[in-house]
Structure 1
Amino acid sequence: MTDRRGFVLWFTGLSGAGKSTLSELLAPRLRQLGLAVEVLDGDEVRTHLSKGLGFSREDRDTNILRIAYVAKLLARNGVAVVTAAISPYRATREAARAMIEAEGLHFLEVHLAASLEACEARDVKGLYAEARAGRRPGFTGIDDPYEPPLSPELRLDTGALSVEESATEVMRLLELRGLVPGNAEVVR
């Protein structure tokens, strides 16, 4: 039996680790299972909900807590929420978890643990090069820290795993937690 309440899949990792790519692959698969799904992508939230925030620690924390608040509202109304935001600070992710779990909802932290080298190699926007050249100060992983989760529900080395392999592991986690039907056949 599956739990029909909403839940939050919280993808965290460096820029370029594959958070948005994995979210875009998983959302339609979850919809095929009959779930209402919303993706809260960090870049889109910054444009529409957190416009005007910078990249200081305080502003980053505010952005992540806004994402958590919206995720909580959606999940408590039966929506499967997938977040794709760097969310670099452990304490802020824990605050997001506490906010969501206080509603009796599942919060599943998934660390996309691609190495810095792997993320830089796939950086099509050139953000890492700009950061290394000093034109993008405070860039996570270069001159601002990324604090990896100590005990996420799932850790994926997205530098080594394909997006398909990563999606399979996430679906397996959701099955084990009773959030989607076991052995769900989903068109790929």
Structure 2
Amino acid sequence: MFEHLTTILSRNPIFQSRGRKPQRPIKYQLGAFLIRYGTLGSDTRRTALQLSIGHGTVFLYCRRVTRAIRELRDQYIGFPSEQDQQHTIDTIHNAIGFPRCVGSGDGSLIRFDEKPLVDGTQFMGRKQFFGVSYDFFTTDATVDHRTRITSYEIGWPAAVTDSRIFKQSDFWKHRVEYLRDGHYILVDKGVS
């Protein structure tokens, strides 16, 4: 998967050097991103020490990788077509007996190591740690029968409830367009 993601990201011009000094290979930049965000929190100092690079370089690599991944969104994430929805409906109905269900959704938190400097108290969640919420609902974060993301909403402070995030999502605002013919998604009771 790492090699595959490296190949996909290599097409983005953000990884092309514009000056005389060449950039480090994409594998190295993606590795820094994964080390930083793949461990508890988002400590750049630890990543910088592990890779023997500057603290600011960690931010630079993570910013590049994040931007490149975000630009891939429309290629890989989207609400399923009518045919794909029917396949999801059939699979879910056969597996667990819910008719007309086109997916499921839930929220989660990305944990921070320390309190953010700006509006830090907003990022304190009910579980008493700082973080940012992301929710998996149908167009701002849902999954189909193969757990493939079909939509998401990300970036809300941890203090914001799943229910509020869901009601501000593109999916909720346009639910009549996404869910037709009695179709629905299963969500955690906290977001209803």
Whether TM exceeds 0.5 here: the answer is: no
Of the two, which has the highest radius of gyration? 2
The answer to which structure has the higher helix fraction is: 2
